[in-house]
């Protein structure tokens, strides 16, 4: 079992005799020294932090500080939801960084197999690699969506760290990655070679300016299995607690909307927030924002409708759009009114879950005008 990886929540994080019963802290099943590891039966979400920052370039202190986020999260009032949440405590740094990666990998694998969604508080964003490796045991390809100002390819010769984890995900076997999407990159932090590489691999990227309309991120979140947020994607005036903080980036309401999109996605099975550094946290501003991001993720999770890939599309509205001698099929969910477009190509069973590509109503309208979304072309190229 995964209990051996965790240490209990520090006693000074909460006081069970104070606060309102309507606060999250009174509803979470906690791992404490007195009560032990929580029973995970009927748990929907499992929160834990990872005290690992040795490979977080320029932000090593990100290993500490999660308890400050807990304090802010526990203060928040429960929304109109019925979600059972457990706080598993902390994974301490191992004797080596690879030991920590192993603990994260095994924890993610165990929880996802139990249909429990892990909510990870990092730690450096190199932990995204460990999260991804947790899917090795699931015999499926996965989609990874990362909100970050950088792609983090690094150099091929680099050891695994927060600046090079994406290269390791792409190049190392087994490769279970089907699609990677970056949200909020800033061009001056990424070489033209890296930008061209993203395009040549049929991956997706959205500059931070494009996310002024944050709704364009919803189909990307709906298509992701793993969602990771580097707090460096949020502008420093909003979230200063990062050793690599940037003056440009997303606003607080936008990153909360992104978290809610991730929560409401039926496909997302793990969610992580990385690179928080409490040393720079003025007035607990960033820990408050992260706690609100988690709150919005929980709210989204409570509103899941079990659309594709879990529900049947038999009752979906079906629209056929002729295109260059072919026909592209669009579906609209009868439950959520959300849209998908189908890629009609022969495919192996491990890729079947990718043939319906999330999109928007605007994508359908553009297709009628013979402007097929790039997301459809990218998936079609990967499956042919």
For residues 350 and 140, is the Cβ–Cβ distance under 8 A? Answer: yes
238-251 mean pLDDT: 97
Q: Is the pLDDT score of 128 beyond 90? A: yes
Higher per-residue confidence, 164 vs 140: 164
Report the percentage of the chain scoring pLDDT > 90. Answer: 84
What is the pLDDT averaged over residues 57-62?
A: 95
Distance from chain centroid for Cα 66: 18
pLDDT digits (tens, 9 = 90+) for 306-354: 887 777 777 899 999 998 888 999 999 988 999 999 988 766 667 888 8
Rounded CA-CA distance 253/190 in Å is 25
* Structural domains present in the chain: 2-302 (3.40.800.10), 317-383 (no CATH)
Residue 17 binned pLDDT confidence (cut-offs 50, 70, 90) = very low
- Is residue 229 packed enough to be buried (19+ CB in 10 Å), middle (13-18) or exposed (0-12)? buried
Within the chain, where are the H helices? 66-75, 97-113, 127-133, 165-171, 192-200, 218-222, 252-264, 285-302, 361-368, 374-383
> What phi and psi, each to the nearest 5 degrees, are found at residue 82?
-130, 75
Higher pLDDT pick, 19 / 304? 304
Judged by DSSP in three states, 121 sits in: strand
Query: Model confidence over 80-92: pLDDT tens digits?
Result: 999 999 999 999 9
**Structure-derived torsion over alpha carbons of residues 228, 211, 201, 363, reported in degrees to the nearest 10:** 120
Please state the separation of Cα 285 from the chain's center in Å: 21
pLDDT band at 129 (very low <50, low <70, confident <90, very high): very high
User: For position 175, what pLDDT does the model report?
Assistant: 92
What pLDDT score does 19 carry?
63
């Amino acid at each position: 079992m995964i209990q051996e990886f965790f240490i209990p929540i520090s006693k000074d994080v909460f006081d069970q005799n104070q606060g309102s019963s309507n606060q999250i802290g009174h509803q979470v099943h906690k791992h404490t020294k007195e009560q032990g590891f929580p029973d995970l039966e009927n748990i929907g979400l499992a929160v834990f932090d990872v005290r690992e920052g040795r490979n977080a370039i320029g932000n090593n202190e990100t290993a500490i500080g999660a308890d400050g986020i807990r304090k802010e999260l526990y203060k928040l009032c429960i929304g109109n939801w019925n979600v059972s949440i457990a706080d598993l405590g902390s994974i301490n740094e191992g004797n080596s960084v690879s030991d920590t990666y192993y603990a994260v990998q095994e924890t993610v694998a165990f929880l996802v197999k139990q249909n429990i969604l892990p909510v990870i508080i990092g730690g450096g964003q190199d932990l995204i690699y460990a999260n991804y490796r947790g899917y090795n045991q699931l015999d499926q390809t996965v989609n990874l969506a990362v909100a970050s100002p950088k792609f983090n390819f690094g150099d091929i010769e680099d050891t695994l760290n927060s600046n090079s984890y994406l290269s390791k995900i792409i190049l190392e076997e087994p490769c279970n990655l089907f699609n990677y999407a970056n949200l909020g990159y800033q061009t001056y932090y990424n070489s033209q070679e890296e930008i061209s590489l993203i395009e040549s691999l049929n991956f997706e990227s959205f500059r931070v300016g494009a996310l002024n309309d944050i709704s364009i991120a919803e189909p990307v979140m709906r298509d992701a299995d793993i969602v990771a947020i580097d707090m460096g994607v949020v502008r420093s005036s909003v979230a200063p607690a990062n050793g690599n903080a940037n003056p440009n980036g997303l606003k607080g309401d936008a990153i909360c909307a992104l978290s809610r999109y991730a929560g409401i996605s039926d496909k997302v099975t793990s969610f992580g927030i990385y690179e928080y550094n409490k040393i720079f946290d003025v007035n607990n501003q960033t820990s408050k924002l992260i706690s609100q991001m988690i709150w919005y993720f929980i709210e989204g999770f409570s509103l899941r409708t079990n659309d594709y890939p879990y529900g049947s599309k038999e009752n979906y509205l079906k629209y056929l759009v002729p295109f260059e001698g072919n026909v592209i099929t669009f579906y609209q969910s009868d439950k959520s009114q959300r849209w998908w477009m189908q890629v009609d190509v022969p495919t192996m069973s491990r890729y079947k879950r990718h043939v319906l590509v999330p999109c928007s109503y605007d994508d359908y309208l553009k297709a009628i005008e013979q402007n097929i979304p790039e997301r459809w072309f990218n998936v079609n190229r990967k499956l042919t």
